[in-house]
Structure 1
Amino acid sequence: MHGHTVADRVTKLTGREATRATALGGSHAWTAFRVELADGTPLFVKALPEAREDGFSGLFQTEALGLDWLGRPAESLVPDVVAWDSHTLVLSWVEERPPTPRAAEILGRRLADMHTAGAGFFGAERDGFIGPLPLDNTPTADWPRFYAERRLAPYLRRATDRGALTPVDARVVEKVIDSVEDLAGEPEPAARIHGDLWSGNVLWQEGDAVLVDPAAHGGHRETDLAMLALFGLPHLDRVRDSYNEVAPLAAGWRQRIALHQLHPLLVHVSLFGAAYRTTTMDAARAALRV
């Protein structure tokens, strides 16, 4: 995709002249750009090719609305949504800086504020995406059922259909699905969660951090915290400590980390194959040992 095409899109969407678009790299079906306006303002843009929308209808709408929803209780925790259409998402530019303990403490408190703002129900008003994969957000009455039916079972099917998990593997994960109600801990109200909060979706700024690329929905707050641990977030202990000062986690949360990590790992197996099989199965077995 050419930079001038993206600059033209941004000009049309924002009503402000965009003079330059620099490609930052591709991810799945879309490409990221840094776009500069005539007055020097930088913007971040995700763009699909004009001819490519199959399977991605509503992708950028869902992301834009998710960022807006997450930002209501903690506005500075997400970038500003500038504009969007079916092929383009325009966000404020985030000037990244190295993570610091102080920024991690602020992130923990703001994450707690976001979660405790609540969601009203488990699920969302519309289906979404996690990466390029569809995400069923049909509401359910409680979190164990939501997690089993909307998060674990669909991606277990994807992983087994592509041969990344064996029938023996599948039976272990099915045991987790059948036991979620017993493994989930005490019931909690639906939290306003990011839903895809791995470390790459945390952008550190001067003194704080912002969250990007959400799969936003009403879920369990331990899901976000478990995913931060999955691929290693800098200063994670500081994030957790400051989070706990605002919204203490329920007893036994450490033993439930593997349960909450199982969904993103099944997503990775579905996308990238058997390279994630061992980690996924380790998480499934660890979840059952609670």
Structure 2
Amino acid sequence: MMSKGLKEHIESLLGLKISSVMSVSGGDISQALKISTSADQFFCKYQAGEEGYAILKAEKVGLAALAGSGKIKTPEVIGLSKTEDGAFLLLEYIESKSKGEKEMIAFGSQLAELHQVMAETYGWETENYIGSLLQKNTRMGGWPGFYTYCRLLPQLELAKRAGLLSEREVPLADRLESRLGEICSASKPSLVHGDLWGGNYLISEDGTPFLIDPSVSYSHPGMDLAMSKLFGGFSASFYEAYQEASRVSFPTPEEIEVYQLYYLLVHLNIFGVSYASSVRSIMKRYF
């Protein structure tokens, strides 16, 4: 569950002896652990491999950006460190509870407020990650171009190289950008979580929403909404609260599908062919 070397490394960082370690959910591409000491509990994410430190560093930066907005909570970062064969990120442990209507209303409102933190261009200071995959963040002034060249094309090329999509199935860049210009609503670049499915937020015991495991950028706010709807969606009260607090129009059903294409491509490239039919269906319908 936890190597002796990793345990000693964390104990040195904390200045505390670890009394117990338990695996918890949240480890699709990494190992997620709840660490208990005599003083407190902590969440540890361990990422093996050469890119482990870079992936977790990007997560730390993303958490800081979201927390720095002052609009929504994230767990406090305790430390980030390299190990012999990877890296670990140590966070405050948030005891969570079931999501009630009151909490989802607060979450919807706070996400809308987060999306009101804006920039002049789409992108981010550096490349970061979505899951284990590199996420390109070249600064660009137009959303159709950014979504084409920094989101869809890199994932389409990965899928093509892996034999998950054929050459003829991948639309040309000009076609993608042109169609996106027709489909996408106007919006200023907004600070987004970037990977907002149901496993990437928590409701603490006192009812406070927390965002975790971000893939941040200044992007179209519809990206967070599209991802939130991909695997069943959040509660109706969440979306109602978001719309009430938001200063931008809610994405159309067509936009939602087009933005979900990015996340389906990511899943295709990480988890394999089970996502291919959904990817093909959206590309055939819109591109």
* TM-score scaled by length of structure 2: 0.89
Matches within 5 A, 1:248-259: 248-250=247-249, 253-259=252-258
Aligned-partner Cα distance in 2 for 1:20–1:42: 10
Cα distance change of structure 1 residues 273 and 177 upon mapping to structure 2, 3 Å threshold = farther
Return closer, same or farther for 1:8/1:233 CA change in 2, 3 Å cut-off.
farther
- Higher mean displacement: 218-227 or 16-25: 16-25
Indicate the residue corresponding to 1:117 in structure 2: 117
Q: Which residue of 1 aligns with 2:6?
A: 6
Q: Equivalents in 2 of 1:35, 1:181: separation in Å?
A: 48
Amino acid at match of 1:220: H
Partner of 1:59: 55
Q: Which residue of 2 aligns with 1:273?
A: 272
Given that 1:173 and 1:284 are in contact with CA atoms closer than 8 Å, whether structure 2 keeps it comes out as no
Deviation of 1:91 after TM superposition, in Å, equals 0.9
Find the aligned partners of 2:271 and 2:29 in 1 and give their Cα distance: 15
Question: Which secondary structure state, in structure 2, belongs to the residue aligned with residue 77 of structure 1?
Answer: coil
Residue 199 to residue 287, structure 1, CA distance change in 2 (3 Å): farther
Q: Give the partner amino acid of 1:105.
A: I
| Pairing partner for 1:70 from 57, 66, 69 | 66
Q: Distance in 2 between matches of 1:252 and 1:24?
A: 34
Cα 1:262–1:119, aligned 2, differ >3 Å: closer, same or farther? Answer: same
Name the structure 2 match of 1:199.
198
CA RMSD of aligned residues (A): 2.3
Which sits farther off after the overlay, 6-15 or 140-149? Answer: 6-15
Identity score, percent: 26
Instruction: State which drifts further: 207-216 or 258-267.
Output: 207-216
Q: d(CA) in 1 for partners of 2:169 and 2:11?
A: 50
Q: Retained in 2: the 8 A contact 1:159–1:165? A: yes
- C-alpha deviations, 1:78-135, integer Å up to 9, x for none? 1111111231101111222111111110000110111112244211111111101111
Paired residues of 1:258 and 1:284 also in contact (CA < 8 A): no
Deviation at 1:25, TM superposition (A): 6.4
Alignment of 1:1-290 (within 5 A): 2=2, 4-24=4-24, 27=27, 30-39=30-39, 41-49=40-48, 52=49, 54-74=50-70, 76-86=72-82, 87-171=87-171, 175-186=175-186, 188-206=187-205, 207-235=207-235, 237-250=236-249, 253-287=252-286
How far 1:57 moved relative to its partner? 4.2
What residue identity is the alignment partner of 2:30? W
Q: What amino acid is the match of 2:63? A: L
**Contact 2:72–2:111 (8 Å) recurs in 1:** no
TM-score, length-normalised on structure 1? 0.88
Seen in structure 2, the aligned counterparts of structure 1 residues 108 and 26 have a Cα distance that, compared at 3 Å, is: closer
Name the SS of the counterpart of 1:185 in structure 2.
Answer: coil
Please list the CA deviations of residues 130-183 of structure 1 after superposition, one character each: whole Å capped at 9, or x if unmatched: 101111112112221111000000100111111212334323997434422222
Would you say the 8 A contact 1:203–1:211 is kept in 2?
A: yes
Separation (CA, whole Å) in 2 of partners of 1:251 and 1:91: 33
Q: 1:173 to 1:138 in 2, by over 3 A?
A: closer
Residues 126 and 175 (structure 1), Cα distance of their counterparts in 2 relative to 1, 3 Å cut: same
Q: 5+ residue gaps in structure 1?
A: none
Alignment partners' CA distance in 2, 1:44 and 1:57: 17
